[in-house]
């Protein structure tokens, strides 16, 4: 039943592309493109998994608050490639066809797609989640130069122009990443992955807060200089569950040990009683 969704040349092309990127397949191509191909083939998608557990902030950002594929807000999603039919309508000043050999599906490159991990030197502070959304969707918001942060403390960044620094991803996975950063002046390292309680960060080995950035992503503040930034997903619920499971298994193990000890004790007591009782008459030798 999925034979019409098998487009291996397109998959091979996408897998051959370097760097971290996502694909966007919500263009009406779903009639010939298996929705879960990204999961099956390990190609990240802006839509993620097709399941009921998608996080609400990201869902509404993508479905309602991104002004459109022509907007700079769309570029924050790291959507470098868009898949569509041959007659798909896109902003041709921004998107260019890069793979057209397939008879049904074309691949278009977003020439303004932003990296998954980057640095900026300006901030917009938000005192609430709603205010953060207003900042992020503002027509004058430039995600290449600034970030919207919630929960930021300390002095605000001074107005600054020009290059801020460089970020190089050394390790990347679903539950953690390591980035080497060279900051020419104070700023933020922004990671366009979803914010969720349980994400922790260390800068040069010292723990630092992970801020909610651009309404649904993550960021950490950095001082000038060279840094190694590590993020790990360590949800408290996991460790609470681990402790409960460990305690439960401990109780089960203790119960098993106590049961064995009781059985051994009962067997030992029975053996002692049998040795102390007189032998049955039938087993004694006859008197002579």
Specify if 58 maps to a domain.
Answer: yes
d(CA 108, CA 91): 11
Would you say residue 217 lies in a domain?
Answer: yes
Regarding whether 17 and 72 lie in a shared domain, the answer is yes
Q: Which strands form 146-150's sheet, in the order they lie side by side?
A: 117-120, 187-191, 217-222, 211-213, 146-150, 122-126
Q: Encoding tokens for residue 147?
A: 């970030």
The answer on 135 and 50 residing in a single domain is no
Digit-by-digit pLDDT tens for the chain (288 residues) are: 555 667 899 999 999 999 999 999 999 998 888 878 888 899 999 986 555 566 788 888 888 899 999 999 999 999 999 999 999 999 999 999 999 999 999 999 999 999 999 999 999 999 999 999 999 999 999 999 999 999 999 999 988 888 999 999 999 998 999 999 999 999 999 999 999 999 999 999 999 999 999 999 999 999 999 999 999 999 865 454 554 565 556 666 666 777 777 777 777 776 666 666 565 555 555 555
Residue 140 lies in a domain: yes
Let me know whether 130 and 102 are in one domain: no
Q: Is 228 in the same domain as 123?
A: yes
Token duo for residue 105: 């599906």
Tell me if 272 is assigned to some domain.
no
227 lies in the same domain as 135? yes
Final residue in a domain of this structure, among 203, 221, 236: 236
What is the span of the domain harbouring residue 73? 3-110
Same domain, 131 and 226: yes
188 & 215 share domain: yes
Same-domain check for residues 67 and 140: no
Report the CATH number that the domain containing residue 170 is assigned in CATH. Answer: 2.60.40
Whether 149 and 92 map to the same domain: the answer is: no
Does residue 277 lie in a domain region? no
How far apart are alpha carbons 47 and 287 in whole angstroms?
A: 97
As a whole number of angstroms, the distance between CA 220 and CA 279 comes to 84
Based on the fold, state whether residues 39 and 144 are members of the same structural domain.
no
Sign of CA dihedral 23, 133, 158, 207: negative
Q: How confident is the model at residue 178, as a pLDDT?
A: 99
pTM of the entire predicted model: 0.80
187 and 101 co-located in one domain: no
Number of domains forming the structure of the chain: 2
**Spatial separation of the C-alpha atoms in residues 182 and 225, rounded to whole Å:** 6
The C-alpha atoms of residue 190 and residue 240 are separated, in whole angstroms, by: 29
Q: CB of 30 within 8 A of CB of 38?
A: no
Domain identity same for 78 and 122: no
């Amino acid at each position: 039943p999925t034979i019409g969704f098998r487009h291996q040349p397109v998959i091979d092309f996408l897998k051959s592309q370097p760097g971290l990127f996502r694909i966007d397949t919500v263009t009406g191509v779903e009639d010939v493109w298996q929705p879960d191909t990204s999961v099956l083939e390990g190609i990240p998608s802006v839509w993620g998994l097709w399941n009921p557990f998608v996080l609400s902030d990201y869902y509404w950002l993508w479905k309602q608050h991104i002004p459109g594929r022509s907007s700079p807000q769309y570029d924050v999603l790291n959507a470098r490639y868009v898949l569509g039919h041959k007659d798909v309508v896109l902003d041709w000043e921004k998107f260019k066809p890069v793979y057209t050999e397939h008879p049904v599906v074309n691949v278009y490159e977003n020439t303004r797609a932003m990296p998954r991990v980057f640095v900026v030197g300006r901030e917009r502070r938000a005192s609430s989640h709603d205010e953060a959304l207003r900042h992020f969707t503002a027509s004058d918001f430039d995600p290449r130069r600034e970030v919207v942060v919630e929960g930021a403390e300390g002095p605000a960044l001074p107005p600054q122009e020009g290059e801020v620094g460089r970020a190089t991803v050394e390790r990347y996975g679903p539950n953690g990443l390591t980035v080497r950063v060279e900051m020419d002046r104070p700023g933020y390292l922004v990671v366009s992955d979803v914010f969720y309680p349980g994400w922790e960060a260390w800068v040069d080995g010292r723990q630092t807060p992970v801020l909610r950035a651009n309404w649904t992503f993550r960021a950490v503040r950095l001082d000038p200089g060279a840094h190694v930034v590590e993020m790990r997903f360590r949800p408290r619920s996991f460790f609470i569950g681990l402790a409960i499971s460990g305690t439960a298994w401990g109780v089960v193990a203790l119960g098993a040990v106590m049961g064995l000890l009781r059985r051994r004790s009962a067997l030992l007591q029975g053996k002692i009683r049998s040795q102390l009782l007189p032998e049955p008459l039938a087993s004694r030798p006859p008197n002579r």
